[in-house]
């Protein structure tokens, strides 16, 4: 639909479009990475294709990044030369600049390559990595398990998180790189004095605070120790920390910074000395701190006293006929309400596991996997009022998913954590639409043919469905998108808020195409 198409093709003669295949086949660009620029609300700001353009002398390559906006418009192609050894480790966009983190295992460096709002390149920042850190990066990138290292701070800069091996355990370093001249760089270093592995995730960021959740694990232990650390985002100075140790174990899932400068954390609480990854929680909780770390509000919602008003809770905090609920996210709306997004799960015996166990035994072998499985079913949305009182629980039906447990030992909670780490739950991601005060909780569901509504002239066919639960104006509605139809298959990728990016594969034409589709609020 471009203008050129209309005017220049006017009274055109037919032109054979193909040049020789020989030349076309000779020109080949290798796509090395593709991905999306995501903000802290999981909103997509754009996409990129990172590819190798040409081979140059002395082990160098010409690379290019093709950047698309959130509507898939091709907006920029930026080229640069670099060593053939570089691997794209992470990317971020902070509303002022785009930043790519390029890892070179041979030289043990991480190069931050940025582009400003005019698409002009910024000066490269080259960071030399410690041998152990480089190994961790390399292993993580090879296995695809490297977590996000580059975090955008809107209109300020980027925080780079790297591990630190200087102490007894594994700590971390946060380096802040400004994206404009009005902000200064800073560094925050954590060197543990005890053994254990500390991983850190920024859960809330603004121009005043950086809220970090530090999780300490030790070997194979199911023990998890959570700490909330609040830094001054202008200087990197630690303002306070809250340690949820064995006397008060807590699992932190979310954090918010309110307009009045208060910091809220949310999650689940446990009995003293409980091992978080193993035990059933006592309930959900929230705490609010002022900038000195003083608790200004605290509230607990227990399974026994509060949830039992909505769902049948047994003495051991297990839900009758339901099992357990795994909370993936807790979302605070602009109007001040909270929503906990959970999925029902149970530990059950696996018919497949038992059968393969018998076969393995008959053959004189030992079965590698477990005899048990995690059965995942409906979505549970817990709604809380402004004071974190449980106001409602809504259940959304979903087909059963069965995931074989890696081990039969341990509690259902431990299995759930393992399955969560492997991406085995049906929950995909959630998105917040801050402007319209909505949220979208996305799941992959499997619908049986018998569960489907009959449509005229269409056969009911079992298949995967992308299920979105949308909160709009306090109401929850569902939108379903079938992921396999006739001769087409679909994959859902993240998109700008309120949309999904559909990768459509036509089995008939053997071709793929991408398009954005809006999620429907009915």
Partner 1 sequence: MLFLQPMKKRLSLKIALGFFTAFQCSFAQVFIPENKQQILEKIDVNYDFQVDLLEGKYKSKIKKEYKKRKELIVEAFLDSTFIFDNKYSNFITSIVGEVKVKNPTINQTEDLIFMNRHLDPNASCFGNNTFMFNLGLFHFLENEDEFAFIVCHELAHQYLNHVNESVKIRVEKLNSKEYKRKIRDARLTIYGRNKAGMKLLKELSYGFLKNSRVKEYEADSLGLIFFQKTKYNASASYKALSRLKTFDDGIFNTNIKIDSIFNFNEYKFKNYWLEEEETLFDIEEKVDDLKWWEKDSIKTHPDIENRIKKLKSSVSKASNNSVSFEDLKAYAFKDQINTLLYFNQLDLAFYLLLEKIQQGNTSDFLITKLAQALQKTYITKSEHIFGERIPQSSPFATEKNLNALRTFLHNLEIKDVRKIGFYFCQEYANKIKSEEFTQINQFFTKLNQ
Distances (CA, A) of 253 to 27, 219, 250, 278, 466: 48, 22, 10, 16, 24
Interaction between residue 7 and partner 1 (CB under 8 A): yes
Binding residues among 487-506 for partner 1 as defined by CB under 8 A: 496, 499, 502
Interaction between residue 434 and partner 1 (CB under 8 A): no
Residue 29 or 409 having the CB closest to partner 1: 29
Residue 37 or 417 having the CB closest to partner 1: 37
- Closest distance of CB 477 from partner 1, Å: 9
Question: Strands across the sheet with 488-494, in order?
Answer: 484-485, 488-494, 499-506, 511-518
| CB atoms inside a 10 Å sphere around CB 435 | 9
- Closest distance of CB 48 from partner 1, Å: 10
Interaction between residue 28 and partner 1 (CB under 8 A): yes
Residue 341 or 501 having the CB closest to partner 1: 501
Distances (CA, A) of 407 to 150, 217, 353, 373, 421: 34, 19, 11, 9, 14
Interaction between residue 511 and partner 1 (CB under 8 A): no
Q: Give the x-and-dash track for 334-373 against partner 1 (CB under 8 A).
A: ----------------------------------------
Distances (CA, A) of 308 to 217, 278, 282, 305, 313: 32, 22, 12, 6, 5
| CB atoms inside a 10 Å sphere around CB 16 | 5
Residues 6+ apart with CB under 8 A from 456: none
- Closest distance of CB 517 from partner 1, Å: 4
Over its C-alpha atoms, the chain yields an Rg (Å, rounded) of: 25
91, 119, 238, 423: residue in contact with partner 1 (rule CB under 8 A): 119
Residue 1 or 220 having the CB closest to partner 1: 1
Q: How far is CA 50 from the centre of its chain?
A: 21
- Closest distance of CB 473 from partner 1, Å: 10
- Closest distance of CB 131 from partner 1, Å: 32
Binding residues among 97-116 for partner 1 as defined by CB under 8 A: 98
Residue 117 or 507 having the CB closest to partner 1: 117
Residue 84 or 262 having the CB closest to partner 1: 84
- Closest distance of CB 95 from partner 1, Å: 8
Interaction between residue 509 and partner 1 (CB under 8 A): no
| CB atoms inside a 10 Å sphere around CB 307 | 21
CA distance linking residue 113 with residue 179, whole number of Å? 12
95, 235, 298, 487: residue in contact with partner 1 (rule CB under 8 A): 95
Interaction between residue 409 and partner 1 (CB under 8 A): no
Q: Which residue has the tokens 């790189």?
A: 177
Residue 102 burial (C-beta neighbours within 10 Å; 0-12, 13-18, 19+): buried
Residue 182 burial (C-beta neighbours within 10 Å; 0-12, 13-18, 19+): exposed
Q: Give the x-and-dash track for 36-75 against partner 1 (CB under 8 A).
A: -x-------xx------xxxxx----x-x--x-xxxxxxx
Residue 135 or 509 having the CB closest to partner 1: 509
Q: What is the 3-state secondary structure (H, E, C) of 231-292?
A: EECCCCCEEEEEEECCCCCEEEEEEEECCCCCEEEEEEECCCCCCCCCCCCCEEEEEEECCC
Residue 2 or 309 having the CB closest to partner 1: 2
- Closest distance of CB 481 from partner 1, Å: 5
* Binding residues for partner 1, total number by CB under 8 A: 65
Q: Which stretch binds partner 1 (CB under 8 A): 2-10, 238-246, 346-354, 359-367?
A: 2-10
Q: Which stretch binds partner 1 (CB under 8 A): 26-34, 131-139, 321-329, 377-385?
A: 26-34
φ and ψ of 97, to 5 deg: -155, 160
Residue 3 or 131 having the CB closest to partner 1: 3
Binding residues among 450-489 for partner 1 as defined by CB under 8 A: 481
- Closest distance of CB 501 from partner 1, Å: 9
Cα dihedral value 194, 198, 204, 209, nearest 10: 40
Residue 195 or 518 having the CB closest to partner 1: 518
What's the token pair of residue 515?
């398009």
Q: What is the 3-state secondary structure (H, E, C) of 379-414?
A: EEEEEECCCCCEEEEEEECCCCEEEECCCCCCCHHH
Interaction between residue 87 and partner 1 (CB under 8 A): no
3, 131, 453, 510: residue in contact with partner 1 (rule CB under 8 A): 3
CA distance linking residue 1 with residue 143, whole number of Å? 43
CA distance linking residue 103 with residue 454, whole number of Å? 52
- Closest distance of CB 43 from partner 1, Å: 10
Interaction between residue 27 and partner 1 (CB under 8 A): yes
Cα dihedral value 257, 258, 264, 265, nearest 10: -40
118, 131, 292, 456: residue in contact with partner 1 (rule CB under 8 A): 118
φ and ψ of 23, to 5 deg: -70, -45
Task: Give residues in contact with partner 1 (CB under 8 A).
Answer: 1-3, 5-16, 18-20, 22-24, 26-29, 37, 45-46, 53-57, 62, 64, 67, 69-79, 93, 95, 98, 117-119, 435, 481, 496, 499, 502, 515-518, 520-522
């Amino acid at each position: 639909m471009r203008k050129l198409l209309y005017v220049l093709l006017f009274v055109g003669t037919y032109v054979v479009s193909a040049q020789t295949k020989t030349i076309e086949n000779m020109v080949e660009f290798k796509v090395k990475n593709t991905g999306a620029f995501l903000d802290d609300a999981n909103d997509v700001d754009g996409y990129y294709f990172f590819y190798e353009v040409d081979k140059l002398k002395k082990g160098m390559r010409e690379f290019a990044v093709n950047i698309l906006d959130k509507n898939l418009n091709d907006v920029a192609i930026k080229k640069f030369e670099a060593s053939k050894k570089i691997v794209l480790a992470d990317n971020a966009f902070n509303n002022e600049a785009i930043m790519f983190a390029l890892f070179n295992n041979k030289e043990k460096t991480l190069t931050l390559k940025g582009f400003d709002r005019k698409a002009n390149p910024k000066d490269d920042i080259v960071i030399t990595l410690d041998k152990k850190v480089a190994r961790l990066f390399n292993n993580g990138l090879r296995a695809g398990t490297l977590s996000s290292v580059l975090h955008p701070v809107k209109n300020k800069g980027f925080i780079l998180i790297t591990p630190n091996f200087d102490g007894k355990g594994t700590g971390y370093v946060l380096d802040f790189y400004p994206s404009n001249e009005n902000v200064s760089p800073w560094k925050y270093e954590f060197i543990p004095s005890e053994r254990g592995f500390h991983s850190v995730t920024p859960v809330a960021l603004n121009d005043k605070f950086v809220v970090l959740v530090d999780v300490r694990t030790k070997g194979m232990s199911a023990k998890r120790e959570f700490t909330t650390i609040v830094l001054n985002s202008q200087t990197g100075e630690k303002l306070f920390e809250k340690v949820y140790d064995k006397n008060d174990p807590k699992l932190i899932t979310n954090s918010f910074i309110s307009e009045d400068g208060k910091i809220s954390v949310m999650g689940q609480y446990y009995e003293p000395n409980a091992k978080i990854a193993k035990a059933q929680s006592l309930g959900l909780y929230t705490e609010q701190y002022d900038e000195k770390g003083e608790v200004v509000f605290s509230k607990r919602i227990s399974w026994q006293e509060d949830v039992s008003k909505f769902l049948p809770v047994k003495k051991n905090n297990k839900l009758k006929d339901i099992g357990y609920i795994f909370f993936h996210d807790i979302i605070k709306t602009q109007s001040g309400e909270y929503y906990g997004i959970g999925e029902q799960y149970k530990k059950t015996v696996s018919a497949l596991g038992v059968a393969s166990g018998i076969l393995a035994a008959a053959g004189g072998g030992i079965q590698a996997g477990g005899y048990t499985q995690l059965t995942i079913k409906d979505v549970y949305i817990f709604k809380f009022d402004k004071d974190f009182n449980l106001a409602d629980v809504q259940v959304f039906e979903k087909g059963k998913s069965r995931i074989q447990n890696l081990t039969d030992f341990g509690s259902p909670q431990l299995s759930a954590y393992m399955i969560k780490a492997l991406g085995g739950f049906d929950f995909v991601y959630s998105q917040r639409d801050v402007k319209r005060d909505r949220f979208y909780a996305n799941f992959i569901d499997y619908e049986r043919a018998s569960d489907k509504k009959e449509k005229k002239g269409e056969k009911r066919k079992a298949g995967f469905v992308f299920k979105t639960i949308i909160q709009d104006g306090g109401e929850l509605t569902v939108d379903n998108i079938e992921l396999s139809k006739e001769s087409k298959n679909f994959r859902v990728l993240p998109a700008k808020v309120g949309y999904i990016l559909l990768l459509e594969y036509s089995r008939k034409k053997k071709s793929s195409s991408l398009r954005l589709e809006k999620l429907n609020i009915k």
